[in-house]
Amino acid sequence: MFEAIHSPLHELKHPSLRVYVKRDDLIDPYISGNKWRKLKYILAKALHLKRTHLVTFGGAYSNHLIATAAAAARSGLQSSGFVRGEEVENDTLFLCKLYGMKLIFISREAYKDKYGLFKVFFGEDPSAYFIDEGGASAEAVRGCAEIIQELPGDVDHLFCAAGTGTTAAGLLKGIRQQHLNTQLHVVPVLKGGDFIAGEIYNYTKNIEQLNLHTDYHFGGYAKTSPELLQFMAGFTAREGMLIDPVYTAKMFYAIEDLSKQGYFNPGEKIVALHTGGLLGILGKKQQLSASISSPGTL
Ligand SMILES: *Cc1c(COP(=O)(O)O)cnc(C)c1O
* Residue 235 CB coordination number (10 Å): 20
Beta carbon of 224 within 6 Å of any ligand 1 atom: no
Q: Quick check: do 9-29+139-291 and 36-135 share a fold? A: yes
Beta carbon of 244 within 6 Å of any ligand 1 atom: yes
Residue 74 near residue 48 (C-beta atoms within 8 A):
no
Side by side, the strands of the sheet bearing 78-84 are 102-106, 78-84, 53-58, 128-130
pLDDT at 296: 52
Side by side, the strands of the sheet bearing 210-212 are 9-11, 19-23, 270-274, 157-162, 183-188, 210-212
Candidate of 23, 28, 34, 92 to mutate for ligand 1, largest count of ligand atoms within 8 Å of Cβ: 34
Q: What is the pLDDT of residues 236-280, one digit of tens each?
A: 999 999 999 999 999 999 999 999 999 999 999 999 999 999 999
pLDDT at 2: 77
Q: What is the pLDDT of residues 7-57, one digit of tens each?
A: 999 999 988 888 999 999 999 999 999 999 999 999 999 999 999 999 999
Q: Does residue 88 surpass a pLDDT of 80?
A: yes
For the chain, give the percent of residues with pLDDT over 90: 90
- pLDDT-derived band at 76 (thresholds 50, 70, 90) equals very high
- The fold adopted by the segment(s) 36-135 is Rossmann fold (3.40.50)
Domain boundaries, the chain: 9-29+139-291, 36-135
For the chain, give the percent of residues with pLDDT over 70: 98
Beta carbon of 63 within 6 Å of any ligand 1 atom: yes
Q: What is the pLDDT of residues 162-212, one digit of tens each?
A: 999 999 999 999 999 999 999 999 999 999 999 999 999 999 999 999 999
Q: Does residue 144 surpass a pLDDT of 70?
A: yes
- The fold adopted by the segment(s) 9-29+139-291 is Rossmann fold (3.40.50)
Beta carbon of 275 within 6 Å of any ligand 1 atom: yes
Of 68-72, 181-185, 286-290, the range with the lowest mean pLDDT is 286-290
The gap from C-alpha 89 to its chain's centroid, in whole angstroms, comes to 22
Pairing of strands 157-162, 270-274: parallel
Query: How far is ligand 1, taken at its centre, from the CA of residue 68, in Å?
Result: 14
- pLDDT-derived band at 119 (thresholds 50, 70, 90) equals very high
Q: Rounded distance, CA 75 to CA 52, Å?
A: 9
